[in-house]
A and B are shown apart, each in its own frame.
Chain A
Amino acid sequence: MTANSAREQLRQFILNNYLFTDEQSALADDASFLDNGILDSMGILELIDFLDETFNVKVAGDELVPENLDSINSVLKFLATKN
C-alpha cells in the first residue's frame, strides 16, 4: 500500500459517506472532521472500523484522540506510525 493510495481510499471514504459527493475539492487534506461537522461520534466509530477493515490497523483506546483522527493528514500520519 502506498501513501498515495491510502490517501485516496481515505478521501473517498470520507467524501462518499459523510459529504455525499465525489467532488475532491469538497475536502481539504487538513480540514478538521470535527470542527467542520463532517464526523459525529458515530462517524468516528465508523472511521475506526474503516481503518481496521481497510488497513488492518487497530486503534487503541489511548490513541483515540483528535490528533490522530481529525483530518486526512492526521489519519495518514497516524497510519504511518502504526506501520
Chain B
Amino acid sequence: MCGILGIVAAQPAAPELQQARLAAMAARLFHRGPDAEGFYCQGVVGLGHRRLSIIDLEGGAQPMQTPDGALCVTFNGEIFNFVELRQSLQTKGYEFASHSDTEVILHLYREYGLGFANYLNGQFAIGLWDNNQQQLILVRDRVGICPLYYYADAEQFIFASEIKALAPVLPQRLELNPAALDDIFTGWTCLPPQTIFQHIYQLQAGEMLVVKNPQQVTRQFYWQLDYPQHSAQYDGRAEAELVDELHHLLTDATAIRLRSDVPIGAYLSGGLDSSILVALMHRQIKDQLHTFSLGFTDPALDESAFQDRVVQYLGTQHSRRMIDYGQIAQALVKTIWHTESPILRTAPVPMGLLSQWVQQQGYKVVLTGEGADEVLGGYDIFKEAKVRQFWARQPASRWRPHLLTRLYPYMELPKGDASVYLKRFFGVGLETPELLWHSHLPRWQTTSKAKLFFSDDFVAGLHNSFEDKIQALFPPQAAHWHSFNRAQYLEINTLMSGYLLNSQGDRMLTQHSIEGRFPFLDHRLMEFANRLPPKYKMKAMREKYLLRAMAKRYLPADISLRHKQPYRAPNVAASQDALFNSDLADYLSVATCQRWGVFAPSKVGFLLQKARAAKALNTSEAQALTGILTTHILLDQFCSHRI
C-alpha cells in the first residue's frame, strides 16, 4: 500500500507554495509508504505520493506522467492484471518505459477514457490529472479495500488516503459528525459518503469522481454488486462444474496476487478461508511459505491448535504473536489514530500488532482470507436471517424460533418456554420479512442500545435516519433479490467495506507499512458467486457449502469441515486493569464526558460501576463502553486542536 494526496485549487498557486502544502499532507502518510516521496505541481493541480515499493522497485516512482506531460497519476494499491493489460496495450501501439502497474493506468485511461476503471482487476485508490481536459479523476476499487477521502470548498478540492493528511490544509479544525457517530452506534460503521468528521467525505466502493474545479464535481459508479432477480438467472450448472469454476477462479485470483518483486507471506487464522488460501499459495510458491497468526492468552479466544494443525499439514514456516489484554490497552490510543473512527470492540488492535510482527520479520505483503464469508456465505448473520425468514412464514410457530438456539448454543436463555424470549429478542421485523434490511435488524437493535449513553443535548441536536441511508444504498432491483443476497449485499456494503477492510484491515496493515491482498474479493470471483443459487452458499445450515466442497481437494476433513469460528479478540471492556488502572481511565472520566458533551457522565458512571462490580457486561454494554472510550480518544486526538 502507498499513500496518495492532491489538491485542485480554484486559482493557480505558486509551485513552491503548492509543494509545501503537499509535503505537509504527505508527512501524515509516511507510515503508508516509507520508501519514497514524490510531488507534481502544474497550474491549479498538485499531486503527491508516499511509496511502499513492491513492484518495479527501480522504475515505479510516482506521481508518474506520460512523456508528453498530458497525464499524471498518483496511485495507491495494486493492479493485479497489469501484465495482461500491458500486453494488450502494446498490441495497440503503446510503449512502456517501466515495468510498473502504474504506467498501465496512464495508457489505459488514454485508450478508454473514463471507462478505464472497468479493465482494472485490483485494489486501488487513484488520482489521475488530465491536463488537456483540465480535470482530476478519482477512482476507488470495487469493494473499498483502499481508502480515499476528500474535502471541497470554493477555494480548493483536496483528497488523500487518510483524513489526517487532509488536516494540514483544511481551513478549520476537524469536528465530529454526530450523524456518523449515530450510524456507528447502530451498524458499526458510518455510511458513505459521510465520515466521522463533518465536511469530510469518502468515495464509495466502485465510485469515480470527476473534478473540473472545486465546485464542479460529478460522480458515477463504474461497478456495483448485483444479484439475480429471479431463479432462472442463477447459474444452473451442476454442482461439480461449479466447484471446478470456483477452483479455477480462486486459483487464478491467488496467482495474480502473488505478483510482486518482494516476498509475500500469508495470514493463517486456522479457519477454512485462510487454510484453503495457504494451500493454494503453497502450490504456487517455490520457496517455503511464511505464515503469520495471532494467538491469545485467553484460552476461550485462542485458535493456536487449529493453526498448528494446518501448519503441520502444509509445512509452512509459521510465526505466532501472542496477545493479552495489557497489550491491547497499551496500543489502543495509537490504534484510534489510525482507524480515524470510534470502534465498538477492540478487535482491530491485535491486527495492528500482527502487522508490526510481520514488518519486523522483513515482509511487506500478506495474503488473507478476508471476504470469503461475505462472498460465499459464511457468517452467522446469514444463518440467523435464514431462520428468521423461515419463522416469518409461520410467525405463530413455537418450534421454528428454537432453530436459533442451535445457531447460538452459547446463548444463555431462561429455562421454561424459551420461544417467548426468542420472539422478543429475534422477532424484530417478523411481520415484515420483505424489508430489504430485515436480516440485520436484530444486530442493529443490539448495537443501538449503546445510544442509551448519549447525553440529552447530543440527542437533541441529532438529525439522522440510519434506515433512510440504508434504503439509499440499495439499487431499485434489490426488491427482487433473494433475501440471502440482500443480506450479503448489506454486509459487504456496510460492515465489510467500512469496518473489516478499513478500521480492522487497511488501517491496521498500513500503520506498519504492510500491504494486504484479498483473493476472495477478486471481482471475477464475486460476480461468479453472486450468480450461485443460495443453496450453494448455505445448504440447510451448513455455511460456505461450495467452498468446503472445493477445499476437500486440498485439505483433510478436520480442517475443511471445521465449523466457522468468528475472529474474536480480547476486548478492553472485559479488563478491569485496562479500564481502571491504565492511562485509558481518563477517557472515561466525568471531566472527559463533560468536555465533549456526547455522553451523559452519570450514565457512563453507572456503566463503570457495573464493570467495576466484576459482573460480566453483556454484548451491548461492552460495545457501549468500548464506543465511549474510543470516541473520546478520537475527539482528543483529532478535534481538540488543529492537527
Contact = CB atoms under 8 A, between A and B. Distances in A.
Contact of A34 (B424, B445, B616): B424
Contacts of B445: 37
Interface string A32-66: 00110100111111101000000000000111111
A41 B413 contact: yes
B486 to A, nearest CB: 25
Contacts, number: 56
A63 B615 contact: no
Contact of B425 (A16, A19, A41): A41
B414 A48 contact: yes
Contacts of B412: 41-42, 45
Interface string A18-40: 01111000000000001101001
A21 B417 contact: no
Given A16-B609, A19-B452, A21-B606, A40 B620 contact: yes
Contacts of A45: 412, 414
A64 B606 contact: no
A65 B416 CA distance: 7
A16 B606 contact: yes
B224 interface: no
A65 B417 contact: yes
Contact of A62 (B416, B420, B421, B602): B416
Contact of B416 (A21, A34, A42, A61): A61
Contact of A20 (B416, B420, B453): B453
A45 B418 CA distance: 12
B169 to A, nearest CB: 41
A44 B417 CA distance: 13
A37 B452 CA distance: 11
A9 interface: no
Minimum-distance CB pairs A-B, first 8: A64-B416, A20-B606, A61-B415, A20-B603, A64-B414, A34-B424, A42-B618, A61-B416
Interface of A: 16-17, 19-22, 34-35, 37, 40-46, 48, 61-66
22 contacts: A16-B606, A16-B609, A16-B610, A20-B453, A20-B602, A20-B606, A21-B603, A37-B449, A41-B414, A41-B421, A42-B412, A42-B616, A43-B618, A44-B414, A44-B421, A45-B412, A48-B414, A61-B415, A64-B414, A64-B415, A64-B416, A65-B420
